[in-house]
Amino acid sequence: MRLIPRHYLALLSNRDFFLLISIIFIGQLATSFLMLSLVVSVFAKTGSNFGVSGVVLSFTVPGFLLMAVAGLSADIIDRKKIIVFANAIITLVVFLILISQKAVYASIPLSFLYFAGNTFFLPASSAASGQLVRRKQLLIANSIFIFTLSSGMILGLFAAAIVHFFFGNQVTLAVCGILLVIAAMLSVLLPSLLPQKSRDHSIAKTLADIGRAFIYIFNQKIVWFFFLVFAFMQGIVAFGVTLALGFFDEVVGLSINKSPIFVMPLIGLGVLFGLIFVHSVKAKEGRLVTYGTGSMGFSTLILGLILRFDLVVERLLLLPVAFFLVLLGFGVIVSVIASRTVLQKKVAHNFQGTVFGANILLASFLAGVMSPSAAGIEALLGYVNVLVLAGLGFLTLSALSSQLSNSWKF
């Protein structure tokens, strides 16, 4: 039995696709080091979820402000040039953070610049991943792309937590800078990734075509359903990140330096299970979203009820928390792969940069709203009630997805 299926190996043997995936993975590792450094530093200084929310906003606001331009750029300009330029800019920003020697204060406005550069990288790399494979390979390519994004982030946060625990903030940022230098150098090796253009191409015509494409696409109810799911899952991640350090510190009893080391491998295990599940179960994308959101709702509600009625105490609480984290990672990755696959199947190749840019724009808006909302709701209701209500919300979404899947035949 092969550890990696043959069709995955065949796609990864594509030199250009493998190079792009490697760049994305290294970039995600670097971003994880920066994010953990900022989030842990701010929470250690403030002890407040609102402080963490401020950091999360510095990650998400650039996407909201710039993603429309970034998505359009990915449909007009050579995507290789965008990837090279973005990696060069964010590498420079990290070294400016290191030079400042004030990781908590000076780095927060600089992180805005970092994620501004990253905003241009995401739609370009997303569209390029579909450009480098055949249409029948899209599901596999999407699984690899999403798994690379999530595993790079999870592994990066886990490694960053260890480095930060033993060596501190400056070494964590230095590792981030080294990783970005490697990603920037590899970006130069990519082939030209020009978007497909007609002979009478112009920016004005492109804008008009994109407008018509959006009108056509969003007249298809199936497309806008998956468009919303894809963005919503990223908003959920921002919601969870805002509350995670405080929850583990106050409820579970794990300090801010130790909790990422506990959390990330379990989330990663759930992501791995989700990837295997997507390709083992012959189910339509709508059914996959039902399974994903249902598993998130079940695990979240169960953990909330366990905490509400004190059914498990002290260190035994780590067991249901671990179960919750695995199913959370599973649910998010299954829903994201399913929704992204539908968007790539339904959207013409030359408009994918804009569509994914618009999706990240919506995701950034949702993250920007849900992060401070998470801090406010927790302050009013407490962590336990947030878990119970979130679990009920996910189960409701799962039921809605099931009903729409049956009604709309997707």
Nearest of 107, 122, 247 to residue 172 by alpha carbon: 107
Model confidence band, residue 74 (pLDDT cutoffs 50, 70, 90) = confident
For 123-173, write each residue's pLDDT tens digit.
Answer: 888 888 878 877 677 777 877 887 888 888 888 988 998 898 888 888 998
What pLDDT, in 10s, does the model give residues 101-125?
A: 555 556 677 788 888 888 888 888 8
- Which range has highest mean pLDDT (46-55, 211-220, 312-321)? 312-321
The dihedral formed by the CA atoms of 82, 85, 89 and 95, expressed in degrees to the nearest 10:
130
State the Cα–Cα distance between residues 139 and 22, nearest whole angstrom. 19
Q: How confident is the model at residue 55 (pLDDT cuts 50, 70, 90)?
A: confident
pTM of the model: 0.79
Based on the number of CB atoms within 10 Å of its own CB, is 196 exposed (0-12), middle (13-18) or buried (19 or more)? exposed
CA dihedral 121, 154, 241, 171 (to 10 degrees): -80
Reported as a single tens digit per residue, the pLDDT across 362-383 is 888 888 899 999 999 999 999 9
- Residue 311 neighbours by CB distance under 10 Å: 12
Q: Does residue 153 or residue 3 have the better pLDDT? A: 153
CATH superfamily of 6-191+203-408: MFS general substrate transporter like domains (1.20.1250.20)
pLDDT mean over 245-259: 89
pLDDT of 341 higher than 90 = no
pLDDT at position 1 is 44
| Average pLDDT along the chain | 85
Contact 236, 295 (CB under 8 A): no
- Say whether pLDDT at 247 is over 90: yes
What is the Cα–Cα distance from 101 to 302, expressed in whole angstroms?
Answer: 44
Distances (CA, A) of 163 to 100, 157, 166: 20, 10, 5
Residue boundaries of the structural domains of the chain: 6-191+203-408
